[in-house]
Amino acid sequence: MRDFQVKKIAVIGQGYVGLPLAIAFSDFFPVIGFDINKTRIEELKQGVDRTLETDKKELARVRDLYATSNQSKGYDASSSTADIADANVYIVTVPTPIDRYNSPDLSPVIGASKMIGELLTAGDLVIYESTVYPGCTEEECIPVLEKYSGLTFNQDFYVGYSPERINPGDKVNSLQKVVKVTSGSTPEAGLAVDGLYKKIIEAGTHLAPSIKVAEAAKVIENAQRDVNISFMNELALIFDRVGIDTQDVLDAAGTKYNFLRFKPGLVGGHCISVDPYYLAQKATQLGYHPHVILSGREVNDQIASFIASKVVKLMIQKNIKFDGAKALVLGVTFKENCPDIRNSKVIDMIHDLQEFGLKVDAYDPWVNVEEVKSHFNIELLSTLPEIGDYDSVILAVGHREFLHLDLSNLKKENSVVFDIKGILDRKLVDARL
């Protein structure tokens, strides 16, 4: 391991995390971006990235580099394991979701480990980037690698863990510009992993003393944000009852030099709303009930229902009849200026509005309409109507396209406007979070 040399890198999973990582490494090494989704691979071969994390020009550049360098560096995409069988570095970037009971679903990372195990040869290095609870890599993944490879861990092959820190849609804090935490199963493996990432990370790396430390660092990053946002959401629930505007309170409190300016909102996405459950499960296994983490999750999970209920109450106060009433939801992604719909809480809010009897239309210029339909069985508007007759309009996502939208053409004179993001002119809204 001491004199480890990279021959070929296989990045397993070509989504928001795997694709940028594969492209970054491709300037230095031959890289195969592997994904079981054949449609995704075909799109990448055609220069199409529906995540918008890279563009057609960049994809063409690194694919050309793969051909012109005689496969000594550059990028290619594949859904065939035969194309990654000769790799000696495997990097796992598959999702680690939760199920409907909020329990961690390790099947994608276990499935990737099984596949890699069947390909492993002596001297190979496997690096996990998928978010897991502390101890998961060693307790769940490595035994699978050993079983399906027939090789001995830390003798025939080595393992590292380097948690992903990619923020979808963020072109400022990109992969290369955020410090990368690294770790390895032995001191030599840790140095090999750290040296590998030093090639692409301009901001530098932090070599953690163990894989468990690196795993824990990742889950607490998002758990911390989740708890902080849950406090703001709880304040919003309280101040709604008091009858004062939460944003006004935060503006006043924010004049203190050490006040942490988090904002209330819907907490979705692939990390913040998921990772705390991974840490909570591990804590529970060890006999400790994590009060703060789970209470924060409970508060954040009820915000979608609160907003739907608030809209309905405001409609009642304005004597708006519910028979045939229509609502327009602007935005369905989990964050602004990004096509990522994973675990979006806007979907929950739409379902709650429908349960109240409202006919709900939704529009989002950033997403694929068919993808939303297949994932959530919700049919989005392909375009906004020039003239609308909506009884309520809910701005759910702060896409740049909505910042200067003329709502007067979309809503009835007697209607409710709810601004979840707090970005519209206050004179135009009835309430905001």
- In tens digits, what is the pLDDT along the chain, a chain of 433 residues? 778 999 999 999 999 999 999 999 999 999 999 999 999 999 999 999 999 999 999 999 999 999 999 999 999 999 999 999 999 999 999 999 988 888 889 999 999 999 999 999 999 999 999 999 999 999 999 999 999 999 999 999 999 999 998 888 777 888 999 999 999 999 999 999 999 999 999 999 999 999 999 999 999 999 999 999 999 999 999 999 999 999 999 999 999 999 999 999 999 887 888 899 999 999 999 999 999 999 999 999 999 999 999 999 999 999 999 889 999 999 999 999 999 999 999 999 999 999 999 999 999 999 999 999 998 999 999 999 988 899 999 999 999 999 989 999 999 999 999 999 999 999 999 999 9
Structure tokens at 315: 């409609």
Longest CA–CA span in the chain (Å) reads 75
Calculate the CA 229 to chain-centre distance: 16
Q: In what order do the strands lie in the sheet with 359-363?
A: 359-363, 326-330, 390-395, 411-419, 431-432
Domains of the chain: 9-209 (3.40.50.720), 210-301 (1.10.1040.10), 302-433 (3.40.50.720)
Position 428 scores a pLDDT of 92
Q: How many H-runs (helices) and E-runs (strands) does the chain carry? A: 14, 13
Closest CA to 5 of 72, 65, 84: 72
State the number of CA atoms in the 13 A half-sphere of 360 facing the CB.
27
Q: How far is CA 419 from CA 233, 264, 395, in A?
A: 15, 12, 5
Q: How far apart are CA 391 and CA 407, in angstroms?
A: 12
**Three-class SS state of 155:** coil
Query: Do 75 and 66 touch, CB atoms closer than 8 A?
Result: yes
Q: How far apart are CA 142 and CA 110, in angstroms?
A: 9
Position 154 scores a pLDDT of 97
Closest CA to 177 of 24, 382, 365: 24
Structure tokens at 77: 């995409």
Residue corresponding to tokens 């739907």 = 308
Quote the strand ranges of 185-316, DSSP E. Answer: 205-207
| b/e per residue 162-193 (b: at least 16 CB within 10 A) | bbbbbbbbeeeeebeebebbbbbbeeebbbbb
∠ CA 150-151-152, rounded to 5°: 130
Radius of gyration of the chain (CA): 24
Residue 221's DSSP bridge partners are none
Position 317 scores a pLDDT of 96
Query: Do 181 and 214 touch, CB atoms closer than 8 A?
Result: yes
Burial of 85 (0-12, 13-18, 19+ CB in 10 A): middle
Q: How far apart are CA 380 and CA 418, in angstroms?
A: 19
Q: How far is CA 159 from CA 192, 214, 272, 279, in A?
A: 10, 13, 26, 21
Q: How far is CA 311 from CA 15, 215, 335, 363, 430, in A?
A: 35, 40, 21, 18, 9
Whether 271 is catalytic is yes
Amino acid 293 reads I
Amino acid 368 reads N
Q: How far apart are CA 231 and CA 150, in angstroms?
A: 49
Q: Please pick, among 136, 141, 271, 338, the residue that the annotation labels catalytic.
A: 271
Q: How far apart are CA 72 and CA 400, in angstroms?
A: 41
Query: Do 174 and 20 touch, CB atoms closer than 8 A?
Result: yes
Structure tokens at 237: 């629930």
Position 205 scores a pLDDT of 98
Q: How far apart are CA 310 and CA 45, in angstroms?
A: 47
The β-bridge relationship of strands 205-207 and 180-182 is parallel
